[in-house]
Structure 1
Amino acid sequence: MLPFPVAFSSRTDSRTRHYRSTRDVLLTRARITNLGFLLLAGFAALSFLLNLWHYFTDLTTYEPQDGRGPYSAPRGIWETLQRDKSLEEIDHLVMVPGHAIWKGMSVEERLDEDQWVLEPYQRGGGRISAFFAHIVGGAELAREDEHSLLVFSGGQTRPSSTTTEAESYMRLASVSDILPSSYSSSALRATTENYALDSYQNLLFSIARFHEYTGRWPSKISIVGYEFKRRRFTELHRAALRWPADRFDYIGIDADGDTELARQGELQNGYLLYTQDTYGCHDTLLSKRRARNPSMRFHPYYSSAPALGPLLNWCPGRAEGGQTAVYPGPLPWDHGTAFGRDS
């Protein structure tokens, strides 16, 4: 402890001790040893580190009461979540990727192009009937398997819309009365993934959303989408995530009529681009993502699915072996025992 400087009266005949003013005390020089300085510095450093650890631990991790491991999210978020018990049996992800935004209110408007926010090339050719067929196909598949979760995936991709592709698909499925529910409870076995900006993100983000919704990883994935996009999902996106082929299924439904033009467009503007940029994070594919994000949305999956954080951030370049280098890190589905509940 530092000495507290004091002074006594200069009068030799006074027995009363007089203390200096606070100002004088603070301005008076004090001697301190090197050991004392080091001790004080050490205590200050230790206090700073403890406070820093306490701050970040309290802010970024939370240990749920169900024993499923810590999450990288503030406690205030996870304390608001209460999953239905029936979700503990869910292990099958059924995903429907979005392609447009439905703005109608009744099921009778499902095939009215004026009730859809469409790109010019999407008008005509029976495309919106294909969109609805994807929705119905995904719902039917989910209803057939009581252990499945239906996920509509697609972000707020149009500047003229205030909703997402996924939310609009979910709303259309709801007014059509085709959404699956749990047999053992009132829990709805359907949800939305509202941030994907392309097909690769449709798949990856839906896995993350499945985990966010159920607290588990899926053991099987089924996708209901365009038949002409089958190879993109099964050969490229699945392989980019290193997802096991025997746990992956694709149900293809194309629009009525001639699809040759659509197949050629898919080859040039989709499949071949991903063969050169596996994770869609460079040049043309990155520009597409930016153009489809006019509302500046960003996903929460670094927090709700932290095991996928490195994969979510993976964008290989020259240093990693080129733009087609497959993510080399560990993934929750690397081993069959990793499926299901977090360890």
Structure 2
Amino acid sequence: MNKYPFGSSNNPNKSSSYYAYQRGNNDFDLESGSVRKSRKPKTLFAKMFGTRIHHLFKLHPVLVSIALVSFGITVLIFLSSIYESQFRSAVAYKKNDLDNDVYPFANLKNLVMVAGHSVYTSSNCGKMDKEESWFLESYQKHPGQAATFLSHIEEGVEAAGKDDEALLLFSGGETRKEAGPRSEAQSYWAVAESKGWFGKDDVRSRALTEEHARDSFENLLFSVCRFRELTGSYPHNITVVSYDFKEERFAHLHRSAMGFPESRFRYMGTPASLESKEGALKGEAMVRAQFQEDPYGCVGSLWRKKLKRDPFHRTIPYPNGCPEIRGLFRYCGSAPFPGSLPWDSSVSNL
């Protein structure tokens, strides 16, 4: 009997390990009890294909190169489409997460918008009714002009104070280079703050700004989008505060361009200063005629005016916050916007 334990060699000075299965690329034949070398897979087809490609490349190098490049591009397009699909799914997932968040003013239903007309530049809050405290264009340099700005601010606060479901937005961007990077909207909000919200303290918590508008149409359009960002819905009613001589422009031209129902639109106009009234009426007639030809302010003199009123090249975030009216932002034409809008009678609001 072998005196060495199972699994050891006959030489006690030489150890070896036991393996239940043979290592390497060999196969153990149970029937014959012998070890056979594994068969390598046949590569005849691959060799023939490679030879054929090599032969074709010698005969038609340009055509073969184009074919190979085209094949590579096709593969890349296919892979990129898969990646894009996965990326969009991830974005949609994140968007759904955001949509589930509570909007800060979801309980508000109506919009009160005060259109800005100037930037407050004084460091002294006690001179808000003085013309030198505001940056004024040449056509605005008249006695009593600053007081009209305060009148607009107060009217907006009063209107919001009478409606507990109203969001007050001061609208106007950084439109004056000489005034520095200060927006009209922030100027109006700061004045209201200094005035103690004219005794309507409860309005402060629902008074915010829209700081990108460069003209009156954008005052309205951008404020509606800003309302959507803050409430998650579009305004049921809109109240606009500006000069009385601009009522036709806002209440008819801009409202019609946006397709907003007349029955849900209200305009509150205050008079211009006495010395500026005549010039203001002439200027308004000219601007109104321009908007009649170009309702969306996207060509000609109205478009050039917008560019001039963006001295700091601010990136406009809209319509990211109001995707349902993306088409309205992109539309440019003399006819009314042909698409459907959230406030259409046939379209339910958000």
Compared CA separation, residues 167 and 82, structure 1 to 2 (3 A) = farther
Compared CA separation, residues 45 and 189, structure 1 to 2 (3 A) = same
Q: Which runs of 5 or more structure 2 residues have no equivalent in the other structure?
A: 1-35, 41-45, 54-67
Partners of 1:293 and 1:202 in 2: CA distance:
14
Please tell me whether residue 123 in structure 1 is matched to residue 141 in structure 2.
Answer: yes
The 3-state SS of whatever aligns with 2:341 is coil
Query: Residues 128-149 of structure 1: CA distance to partner in whole angstroms, max 9, x if unpaired?
Result: 1111100010011101111000
Q: 2:290 aligns with which of 248, 273, 276?
A: 273
1:89 counterpart residue number: 107
Q: 1:285 aligns with which of 298, 302, 326?
A: 302
Q: CA deviation at 1:52?
A: 1.1
Greater RCO, 1 or 2 (C-alpha within 8 Å, sep 6+): 1
Q: 2:181 aligns with which of 148, 159, 162?
A: 162
Q: 1:171 aligns with which of 190, 206, 209?
A: 190
Partners of 1:288 and 1:42 in 2: CA distance:
47
Q: CA deviation at 1:31?
A: 4.0
2:344 counterpart residue number: 334
2:249 counterpart residue number: 232
Identical aligned residues as a percent? 33
Partners of 2:73 and 2:184 in 1: CA distance:
57
Q: Give the 5 Å matches for 1:66-215.
A: 83-84=103-104, 87-160=105-178, 161-178=180-197, 188-215=205-232
Partners of 1:41 and 1:299 in 2: CA distance:
36
Q: Give the 5 Å matches for 1:3-14.
A: none
2:335 counterpart residue number: 325
Compared CA separation, residues 61 and 155, structure 1 to 2 (3 A) = farther
The 3-state SS of whatever aligns with 1:295 is coil
Give the AA of the match of 2:109: D
Query: Residues 91-121 of structure 1: CA distance to partner in whole angstroms, max 9, x if unpaired?
Result: 1100000111012345421012222111121
Partners of 1:127 and 1:247 in 2: CA distance:
30
Instruction: Tell me if structure 1 keeps the 8 A contact 2:185–2:211.
Output: yes
Instruction: Tell me if structure 2 keeps the 8 A contact 1:98–1:153.
Output: yes
Partners of 1:291 and 1:44 in 2: CA distance:
44
Which of these two proteins has the greater Rg computed from alpha carbons? Answer: 2
Instruction: Tell me if structure 2 keeps the 8 A contact 1:279–1:315.
Output: yes
The 3-state SS of whatever aligns with 1:266 is helix
Q: CA deviation at 1:300?
A: 1.1
Give the AA of the match of 2:115: P
The 3-state SS of whatever aligns with 1:304 is coil
Compared CA separation, residues 30 and 44, structure 1 to 2 (3 A) = farther
1:3 counterpart residue number: none
The 3-state SS of whatever aligns with 2:267 is strand
Q: CA deviation at 1:43?
A: 8.1
Q: CA deviation at 1:165?
A: 0.7
Q: Which runs of 5 or more structure 1 residues have no equivalent in the other structure?
A: 1-14, 20-27, 69-80, 317-323
Q: CA deviation at 1:276?
A: 1.1
Name the TM-score, length of structure 1 as normaliser: 0.76
4+ runs of 1 displaced by more than 6 Å? 40-44
Compared CA separation, residues 146 and 55, structure 1 to 2 (3 A) = same
Q: Give the 5 Å matches for 1:56-75.
A: 56-59=88-91, 62-65=94-97
Count of aligned pairs between the two proteins: 289
Instruction: Tell me if structure 2 keeps the 8 A contact 1:107–1:175.
Output: yes
Compared CA separation, residues 90 and 47, structure 1 to 2 (3 A) = same
Partners of 2:217 and 2:269 in 1: CA distance:
17
Compared CA separation, residues 338 and 98, structure 1 to 2 (3 A) = same
Partners of 1:62 and 1:338 in 2: CA distance:
25
Compared CA separation, residues 300 and 114, structure 1 to 2 (3 A) = same
Partners of 2:92 and 2:187 in 1: CA distance:
32
Q: CA deviation at 1:60?
A: 6.9
Partners of 1:195 and 1:133 in 2: CA distance:
22
Compared CA separation, residues 110 and 44, structure 1 to 2 (3 A) = closer
Partners of 2:76 and 2:295 in 1: CA distance:
49
Compared CA separation, residues 60 and 171, structure 1 to 2 (3 A) = farther
Partners of 2:343 and 2:239 in 1: CA distance:
16
Q: 2:236 aligns with which of 203, 208, 219?
A: 219
- Judging by fraction of residues, say which structure has more helix: 2
Partners of 1:281 and 1:328 in 2: CA distance:
16
Give the AA of the match of 1:325: A
Q: Give the 5 Å matches for 1:302-321.
A: 302-316=319-333
